[in-house]
Amino acid sequence: MPGILYIVPTPVGNLEDMTFRAIKVLKEADLILAEDTRTSSVLLKHFDIHGRLESHHKFNEHKTSEMIKERILQGLNVALISDAGTPGISDPGFLLVRTCAAEGIEVQTLPGATAFVPALVSSGYPCDRFCFEGFLPQKKGRQTRLQELAGEHRTMIFYESPYRLVKTLEQLAEFFGPQRECSVAREISKVHEEHRRGTLEEVAAWYRAHEPKGEIVIIVAGAPEVKKEKKRYYEEEEEA
């Protein structure tokens, strides 16, 4: 009988964000796949989890996905974790899930930590409709994507490195306008969690003067929707 592939979110900051179910699944799994075994070893040790640990990251996932699929078909229950957050969300995981799903293998994704959700809700911008963009293309296609998003009416979510944050904010200001509102969330669920709100121009200036550190989520308000004036049409009375 085939096993199950479990997608297990791990804390993006505070270890207390780990769920009871996530700990149970990891303790019972026959194999745990980790983005970085050194990083994950700290987490597993903290929760007294001693399962077999192997690496599964963006540099080897094309090679390992087929092998993992075969092991699950042979009956192994496998749990996939990333360094932080939910696997597959700007982290390895999509390819393995697609491979297993295509084979009819049961995939169970546990609810849990994802950095963009608290960043979005805390921003104060509409979160009933939003678009997740993750990391923008580094070179090819970057300007084209920014041009496409300039007129997006939904709240937009971007991930960014602290080393590229200022440059990205400046580019967003260039394409979206310097007065577009934004919120930069830094170090979600950690001791030094910070939310810096203002216009793209203001927030870029702040981080030019204060070097950012840690994981970054940028929330940008959508373009304002132009309300069309309702035109009234009057029929002229025909002369008798």
Shared domain for 87 and 122, answered yes or no, is no
Do 91 and 55 share a structural domain?
yes
Helix ranges, 124-164 (H): 142-149
Query: Pick from 89, 109, 129: which residue ends a domain?
Result: 109
Q: Is residue 154 part of a domain?
A: yes
Whether residues 82 and 54 fall in one domain: yes
Is 233 among the domain residues? no
Q: Quick one: pLDDT at residue 69?
A: 96
Q: What is the mean pLDDT of residues 44-72?
A: 93
4-7/78-81 β-pairing: parallel
Give long-range contacts, CB 8 A cutoff, 24+ apart: 103-109: 103/69, 103/73, 104/2, 105/2, 105/3, 105/4, 105/5, 105/69, 105/72, 105/73, 106/2, 106/4, 106/5, 107/4, 107/5, 107/6, 107/7, 108/4, 108/5, 108/6, 108/7, 109/6, 109/7
Task: Report the CATH number at residue 55.
Answer: 3.40.1010.10
Query: Same structural domain for residues 133 and 98?
Result: no
Instruction: State which residues form the domain around 205.
Output: 116-220
Q: Does any domain span residue 238?
A: no
Distances (CA, A) of 225 to 18, 78, 96: 40, 46, 39
CA 55 – CA 21 distance, rounded (Å): 22
**pTM (two decimals):** 0.88
State the pLDDT confidence band at 228, using cuts at 50, 70 and 90.
low
Residues 70 and 129 in one domain: no
SS3 sequence, 14-76? Answer: CHHHCCHHHHHHHHHCCEEEECCHHHHHHHHHHCCCCCCEEECCCCCHHHHHHHHHHHHHCCC
Task: Give how many domains the chain has, as a whole number.
Answer: 2
Please write the tens of the pLDDT for every residue from 159-206. 999 999 999 999 999 999 999 999 999 999 999 999 999 999 999 999
The candidate with the shortest Cα–Cα distance to 124, out of 190, 221, 204, 223, is 221
**Quick one: pLDDT at residue 39?**
93
pLDDT digits (tens, 9 = 90+) for 87-144: 999 999 999 999 999 999 999 999 999 999 999 999 999 999 999 999 999 989 999 9
